Structure 1
């Protein structure tokens, strides 16, 4: 009988790993090997059989004083992980799920890990039905199906969003080629409660640079008639999904919502395609309300603690 095994980073066959991810029902850029290498340098894995089901294991030392104690930790800029497979039966197998959860509980002193939307319900049910001692919460993710034509999508916008977009405002939208310029714009204009360290901005730079080099990332900027940048976004695109990973707007006394213009522009470009715009969601009410105002719906995921 096949079993699930822990595989350390150096022993992972990344060609087989990425093949499994590319074929998975619930494939995600968050779990592709090159992305994990950026956000969690020495990630390990749980692997079933010959890479038939894969689970990224992203851990860090609990403290520098106790290096032998490890913490299962969700990396920054990596919203959802968990199990990935092309076999639905493996993704929902109760014995396999119990093995995975038991491994996490026994091996890690502290937990903070998110399971992808596709598997969240079965993992939550396993925790509840077996009375496992995990704390868990549902975290919000918002996404917009882009398969309808733009006029039909626009019809579902909130009236305030429509009003913002219809304001007469002289602007232009173009690609931002200079990644350092974009990252510096983020530094200056992200809300003060976003507490990122220097190393985190380095990670952002690496995500954007490597994604662009792999033709799956794009920075867009909204400029005024003086060619001053007012809002910037970075979309990470893979598997017919555009993830709004980083964005920021210049704060002034203007009546305009600069970000609304940018997002609407992107939706207009990609409407009537079999794709999704993934806002990544937020439990912050104002952010959630803004993303929902484009017609986005909740596709939530499970976070265990």
Structure 2
């Protein structure tokens, strides 16, 4: 019942219909998102006539070895179906582990399996009235949002283009391995902008950008892709103001996805907005485990 389809074999109309009507729907499994983040290096497992689907992104190493790994900025993939069914998920998992060399793969927070998989954290705010959402913010976050008169008089929050933001983002990117990694990161942002899915919102202080928040946007969700701050102005809480601004304009009909973090300070920052914690299952194999499977020793 489960088939493996390469990219050029996918019926994207059926794929999209299954995804958009699924219980587990994630923006990161859409064709637009995966085409950009994986460079179209993805394929799917499909159950029946697209009753359930599982997108799988990969990289090729040494020219011929295909390794499964979630692309950069792609937190969750997994199995998508009208109703999450453990037995069907188990069948996908068994096929997946038998047929692929898995480096790292993250299922979504709705997927359930008979066997235990290691889980990671994510934080979400679901659509609701903005005033109700803001009322739940932590006392500390509410204080951060109360700007003094001088800052209010000399600041502005507005959307900017990638062309306006690229220098600031480049100078304040944290976590890139090297310049090539940073270049790929910036190119991904540019590609999202061309596809009309990137929103960059900046906090200006005395007409100078001191914070930028990047989000991926579609008709159902907003996902935090990056937070960029000028270190000398970190105490002004511009990032908190921007996120609150984005939430105020969108939370009535869109999920706000913080995208989780394994860094305690970032997790604490997210928790200040009182999002819901959602755990999602993952598979992570070491290089030794992958080589052992490939060469069967």
TM-score, normalising length: structure 2? 0.86
| Residues 1:180 and 1:149: Cα distance change in structure 2 (over 3 Å) | closer
Q: Which residue of 2 aligns with 1:14?
A: 12
Deviation larger for 137-146 or 282-291: 137-146
C-alpha distance in 2 between matches for 1:83 and 1:183: 35
Q: Which residue of 2 aligns with 1:26?
A: 24
Q: Which residue of 2 aligns with 1:181?
A: 164
Query: Does residue 291 of the first structure (1) align with residue 276 of the second (2)?
Result: no
| Residues 1:102 and 1:259: Cα distance change in structure 2 (over 3 Å) | same
- Write out per-residue CA displacement over residues 240-283 of structure 1, whole angstroms, 9 at most, x where no aligned residue: 32212222111105631110111122223235x14321111112
SS in 2 for 1:127: coil
Q: Which residue of 1 aligns with 2:69?
A: 73
C-alpha distance in 2 between matches for 1:253 and 1:31: 36
8 Å CA contact 2:5, 2:46 repeated in 1: yes
8 Å CA contact 1:82, 1:115 repeated in 2: yes
- Residue ranges of structure 1 left out of the alignment (5+ in a row): 129-135
| Residues 1:254 and 1:58: Cα distance change in structure 2 (over 3 Å) | closer
C-alpha distance in 2 between matches for 1:22 and 1:98: 22
Q: Which residue of 1 aligns with 2:33?
A: 35
Query: Does residue 139 of the first structure (1) align with residue 120 of the second (2)?
Result: yes
Q: Which residue of 2 aligns with 1:277?
A: 256
2:109 is matched with which residue: 106, 111, 117? 117
8 Å CA contact 2:53, 2:81 repeated in 1: yes
What's the CA shift for 1:23?
Answer: 1.6
Q: Report runs of 4+ in structure 1 exceeding 3 Å deviation.
A: none
What's the CA shift for 1:165?
Answer: 1.3
CA root-mean-square deviation: 1.9
- Residue ranges of structure 2 left out of the alignment (5+ in a row): 285-297
TM-score, normalising length: structure 1? 0.84
Q: Which residue of 1 aligns with 2:129?
A: 148
8 Å CA contact 2:189, 2:198 repeated in 1: no
What's the CA shift for 1:68?
Answer: 3.4
What's the CA shift for 1:235?
Answer: 2.2
8 Å CA contact 2:176, 2:182 repeated in 1: no
| Residues 1:208 and 1:140: Cα distance change in structure 2 (over 3 Å) | farther
Query: Does residue 202 of the first structure (1) align with residue 187 of the second (2)?
Result: yes
C-alpha distance in 1 between matches for 2:234 and 2:183: 30
Query: Does residue 240 of the first structure (1) align with residue 240 of the second (2)?
Result: no
2:92 is matched with which residue: 87, 100, 103? 100
Kindly tell me the number of residue pairs found equivalent between the two proteins.
276
